[in-house]
Amino acid sequence: MPRVSDEHLDARRRQIIDAAIVCFARDGFHRATMQDVCREAGLSPGAIYRYFPGKDAIIEAIADERHAREAGFMELARAAGGGAEGIRALGRASFASLADPDERLRRRLGLQVWAEALRNPRIRKLVMRGTRPPRAAMAQMVREAQERGELADDIDPEAFARAMLALFQGFILQQAWEPDADVAAYLETCEAMVDALLPARA
């Protein structure tokens, strides 16, 4: 029997994940079934279960991909020099991603995952695994900004990071309700709020 290439395996796994994103975002995590994923992917149940034993495993794979993308945003912030400019770069990269229809679909699914995390400890652990590193990185950039004299010392880094994360998460929810919400205008307003605390750009 000929050996199946890694490229073929990766492509099939991608096919399943993409189909699951569509199903879960459209029908909800609980209503969507593995059979729905099979139909959307155009694959047999056996082909699906070869890669994923169930919905939780697919959700975990989707979340891992999102966490990897968000780690890329953190790298952009570091490349911008961290501190005040890193905070600005992180905000721009995060909100720019929401202009991509595929990313918006993934974020819509993310709302389903957040809801599931309230009742499923395994999913909650997965969500926290994704939110803690960017929050910690943001808090570190706040500390750097304070050390450079770019931000007042009396601002709590952890609270600042939570507030910035809440601005992003809140817009994801609003965009799910109102798909035509203006990403650029929201980003401009968020930047103005941050710039009120940070020094003027050089």
Burial of 3 (0-12, 13-18, 19+ CB in 10 A): exposed
Q: Domain 1-53 is of which CATH architecture?
A: Orthogonal Bundle (1.10)
Which superfamily does 55-195 belong to?
Tetracycline Repressor, domain 2 (1.10.357.10)
Answer yes or no: is pLDDT of 5 > 90: no
pLDDT in tens, 24-54: 888 888 889 999 999 999 999 998 999 999 8
Residue 1 pLDDT class (50, 70, 90 cuts): very low
pLDDT of 36 reads: 94
Amino acid 3: pLDDT? 61
Across the range 109-129, mean pLDDT stands at 87
Structure token digits, residue 58: 């697919």
Q: Where in the chain is the domain with CATH 1.10.357.10?
A: 55-195
Are 104 and 174 spatial neighbours (Cβ–Cβ below 8 Å)?
A: no
Whether residue 201 is predicted with pLDDT greater than 80 in this model: the reply is no
Return the pLDDT at 80. 86
pLDDT of residue 202: 47
Q: What is the pLDDT of residue 135?
A: 92
Angle subtended by helix axes 55-79 and 83-96, to nearest 10: 140
pTM for the model stands at 0.79
- Model confidence at 2, in pLDDT bands (50, 70, 90)? low
Average pLDDT (127-156) is: 89
Q: Could you tell me how far CA 159 lies from the centroid of its own chain?
A: 20
Structure confidence by residue, pLDDT tens digits, 169-198: 999 999 889 988 898 899 889 888 888 877
Residue 171 is predicted with a pLDDT of 92
Domain with CATH 1.10.10.60 in the chain: 1-53
Question: What length is written for the chain?
Answer: 202
pLDDT for residue 150 is more than 60: yes
Q: How many Å apart are CA 53 and CA 171, to the nearest integer?
A: 33
User: What is the average pLDDT value for the chain, to the nearest integer?
Assistant: 87
**pLDDT at position 170:** 92
Percentage above 70 pLDDT, the chain: 96
